Amino acid sequence: MPSTPEFQQTVSKTASFSGTALHTGEKVTLKLHPAPVDHGIKFRRKDLQDEPTIDARIENLKTVERATTIGEGSVRVHTVEHVLGALSAMGVDNAIVEMDANEPPIGDGSAQAYVDLIKKAGVTAQEEPRKFFDVRDTMHVESKTGALIVLLPDDKFRISCTQAGPNNRFAQFLSMEVTPAGFEREIAPARTFVFYEDVKPLMDKNLIKGGSLENAIVVRGDAVLSKEPLRFVDEFVRHKILDIIGDLALVGRRIRGHVVAVKPGHAANADLARAITREQTRRSAVATPRTIPSGEGGLDIDQVMQILPHRFPFLMVDRIISFETETKCVGVKSVTINEPFFQGHFPGHPVMPGVMQVEAMAQVASILLFKLAKTTSRIGYFMSADEVKFRKPVLPGDTIFIHAELTKSRGERLAKAKCHCVVNDAIVSEAELMFTFLDK
Ligand SMILES: [Zn+2]
């Protein structure tokens, strides 16, 4: 987990470049403008009346055949994935991409021209923290064409990609962490490639007028046809990684997770972006406090505070919802963004500290000890924690169900409790706690 806050970034000033549009073959000028915080990336069609803009969001995805097209109403922008990949990987969160045509200049078929443009414009930090999507549970998407993408929890944005052409020709693999420097060096120069059998029908229909060996590598049989030699022996898998970064930029948040992709394509990439957005929407929806039944035999906050000496900000139990037996109970704690620990843990990336979850477990276990001893004249001191595991991050808006069970009570002086915390039906942390009793 990062210990320094990450702030949103935009370009420092407007910069532009011109080139050829892939599908129409016409000249197009692309201008990159700074934009305010929480603006995201928007495309502006300067060539149309009223200069409409299109949000680079998955909700606006229209088609994924050969390239990624977004649109709002009747307005379209084609082939957005390379410019989005460059903006995302180079750390630009907010910008306006203005064009006087319906697609960006294709450049040499790589993201090099866009990286050069971003560097020309410069990148500036803004005052608001970045928004992240932290992968908690493994997610995956599959397509009929054989694409498989798995997304795993990770504290960095990583991509491990396997690419293979027809009959597994040019099978390639690369794994990397996506950083601006790594992207510029390893990914941005990788050009678009096509297998001859795939583009032949398009060329026959004259659908790729701007396409040439200047801006794509054509693979025919085992022969690689291109204007200049391959830039990397594994240039194809590198380009696939570029497309993944560009398509996932449509999520609108930075991803902390590991993408493991096998033969990915725009359709599968877009499916993953959709799945991430759905999960984000679900998380935002459950972030409203859940109503918890007071339940038979539970304790409300007043009763909890009669037993526990802890007070704000250190009282980590809102309510005991049930006692299953004398030695087993479940407490609940609603975690809000107002918890003092979120201010410093971490700015822009609030995660509940694991030690606070252990404290919550200890407090719920203490309530069991009190019930058993039937007196408040002695107090249980927390001595040790064993087998502590933090499995998933706990975030603002989560409701933690704290399960505690007394497993051993050795004589009068020592007690042991097995505890775990649950959020959204998944165990987020667990520990075995030892207590000793002392007279107050
Ligand atoms: Zn591409």
Distance CA 406, CA 64 (A): 56
Annotated active-site residue 345? The verdict is: yes
pLDDT tops 60 at residue 289: no
Contact call for residues 141 and 135 (beta carbons, < 8 A): no
Taking residue 99's Cβ as centre, other Cβ atoms within 10 Å add up to 21
* 146-168 pLDDT tens trace: 899 999 999 999 999 999 988 88
Centre of ligand 1 from the C-alpha of residue 228, in Å: 18
Give the closest residue to 249 by CA, choosing from 185, 152, 178, 154: 178
pTM of the predicted structure, to 2 decimals: 0.68
pLDDT tops 60 at residue 83: yes
Centre of ligand 1 from the C-alpha of residue 194, in Å: 10
Q: How confident is the model at residue 300, as a pLDDT?
A: 86
CA dist 423 → 283, 354, 400, 401, 413 (Å): 11, 14, 5, 7, 33
Give the closest residue to 266 by CA, choosing from 177, 356, 192: 192
Centre of ligand 1 from the C-alpha of residue 100, in Å: 21
Please name the residues in contact with 79: beta carbons below 8 A apart, sequence gap of 6 or more: 22, 23, 67, 68, 69, 103, 104, 106
pLDDT (mean) for 72-90: 96
Catalytic hit among 39, 140, 310, 345:
345
CA dist 52 → 15, 45, 70, 160 (Å): 20, 6, 13, 37
Centre of ligand 1 from the C-alpha of residue 271, in Å: 16
Distance CA 407, CA 141 (A): 42
Annotated active-site residue 140? The verdict is: no
In degrees, rounded to 5, the angle at the alpha carbon of residue 158 between the alpha carbons of residues 157 and 162 is 150
pLDDT category at 198 given cuts 50, 70, 90 is confident
pLDDT (mean) for 88-92: 98
Three-state secondary-structure class, residue 351: coil
Round the average pLDDT of the chain to a whole number and report it: 89
pLDDT tops 80 at residue 122: yes
Centre of ligand 1 from the C-alpha of residue 231, in Å: 15
Centre of ligand 1 from the C-alpha of residue 246, in Å: 8
Catalytic hit among 23, 33, 78, 266:
266
Contact call for residues 164 and 195 (beta carbons, < 8 A): no
Q: How confident is the model at residue 116, as a pLDDT?
A: 98
Least confident of 128-142, 192-206, 213-227: 192-206
* 373-382 pLDDT tens trace: 766 666 677 8
What strands, in cross-sheet order, belong to the sheet with 319-325?
319-325, 328-334, 399-410, 414-423, 426-439, 378-390
Taking residue 212's Cβ as centre, other Cβ atoms within 10 Å add up to 15
**β strands within 233-369, DSSP E:** 254-262, 319-325, 328-334
Comparing 284 with 346, the larger pLDDT belongs to 346
